[in-house]
Amino acid sequence: MKIFNDINELRKHLEIYRTEGKTIGLVPTMGYLHKGHISLVQKSVKDNDITVLSIYVNPTQFGPTEDLDKYPKDLENDKKLAKEAGVDVIFIPTNSVMYLDNHATYVNVDNLTDNLCGKSRPTHFRGVTTIVTKLFNIVQPNGAYFGQKDAQQAIVIKKMVKDLNMPIDIIICPIVRENDGLALSSRNTYLNTEERNQATILYESLQKSKECIKNGEQSATIIKDMIKEMIEEKPSATIDYISIVNEDTLEDIDYIQGNILIALAVKIGQTRLIDNLRMEVNLIC
């Protein structure tokens, strides 16, 4: 496994693989790897000759009051897990490598970034789409692997790739969860024991919603109120949003029908967690 900090060195190395006709998969991450990240790596290793993992905590996707400075890091463990999972190349750039002092160019996907996380994190997706575009230009992968855990991010990146004619397959991998349902996240490390116990409410409320919808509930308001009630029972929880949206437009819906996404963002203590559930609902009235 090779490790690069420099863009030109990485490009030169990847060019060798390309001239050999090898396919390259890219897994962009912010590090502090867990089994969710590793599931993306495993899929890329399965699909491609070469897998590139990037580890970069991208400042432009963090708001001024967010956790950029305290974002967890364990580079040695990341390298160990990456190697075990079959990563060929890790790219670990610094801020000065990724953003020149006079950086002035950003990529923005309209509309899809207005709702859900875009409401409380207004500059977040601009940061994500900009850094992902830069990583795509640097690595020029055949495919790039993202998690359904960040459902809006996945939809926004797919749209960006389509709109900007980027010749890259976007592969979305399922959410990896703890045994009790909590979606794996690097931020789970911030939770104390009590908060960790309460954090399962995101998954539990999504499961309960699924059951109600399967039993015929069609009102998004009723489902959202039920989720709200369940979450508010947890003393450490503060709701950012509970939304039920059309999966293609990410606009709120009143009636549950078609491809829907139920998406939650909840602060447990000081830690903001997200989770979601996709459903295809075909109700015959």
Pick out the residues of the known binding site. Answer: 30-37, 61, 147-150, 153, 176, 184-187
Q: What is the dihedral of CA 167, 102, 121, 71, to 10 degrees?
A: 90
> Rounded CA gap, 123 and 54, in Å?
22
* Residue placing its CB nearer to ligand AMP in the complex, 176 or 250: 176
- Report the residue number, 125 or 146, with the smaller CB distance to ligand AMP: 146
Nearer to ligand AMP by Cβ, of 40 and 139: the residue is 40
CA atoms within 13 A on the CB side of 282: 0
Q: How far is the CB of 77 from ligand AMP (least distance, A)?
A: 14
Q: How far is the CB of 157 from ligand AMP (least distance, A)?
A: 9
The closest alpha carbon to 53, from 23, 18, 84, 88, belongs to 88
| Residue 13 appears among annotated catalytic residues | no
Task: Please calculate the CA angle 117-205-198 and round it to the nearest 5 degrees.
Answer: 85
How far apart are the C-alpha atoms of 88 and 56, rounded to whole Å?
A: 17
Tell me the residue number closest to ligand AMP, measured at CB: 147
Question: Cα–chain-centroid distance for residue 201?
Answer: 20
Give the rounded distance of the alpha carbon of 264 from its chain centre.
13
- Binding-site residue numbers for ATP are 30-37, 147-150, 176, 184-187
Closest CB 36 distance from ligand AMP, rounded Å: 2
Closest approach of ligand AMP to the CB of residue 53, in Å? 10
Least distance from ligand AMP to the Cβ atom of residue 183, Å? 5
Cα–Cα distance, 196 to 31 (Å, whole number): 21
Choose among 77, 111, 117, 165: nearest CA to 265: 117
CA distances for 32 relative to 68, 72, 146, 229, angstroms: 13, 6, 16, 33
Closest CA to 275 of 211, 225, 204, 218: 204
Binding-site residue numbers for beta-alanine are 61
State how far the Cα of 191 lies from the Cα of 237, in Å rounded to an integer: 12
The catalytically annotated residue of 13, 37, 103, 124 is 37
Q: Which is nearer to ligand AMP, 95 or 221 (CB)?
A: 95
Chain positions contacting ligand AMP, by CB under 6 A: 29-30, 36-37, 39-40, 146-147, 149-150, 173, 175-176, 183-186
Q: Which CB, 175 or 191, lies closer to ligand AMP?
A: 175
Catalytic center residues: 37
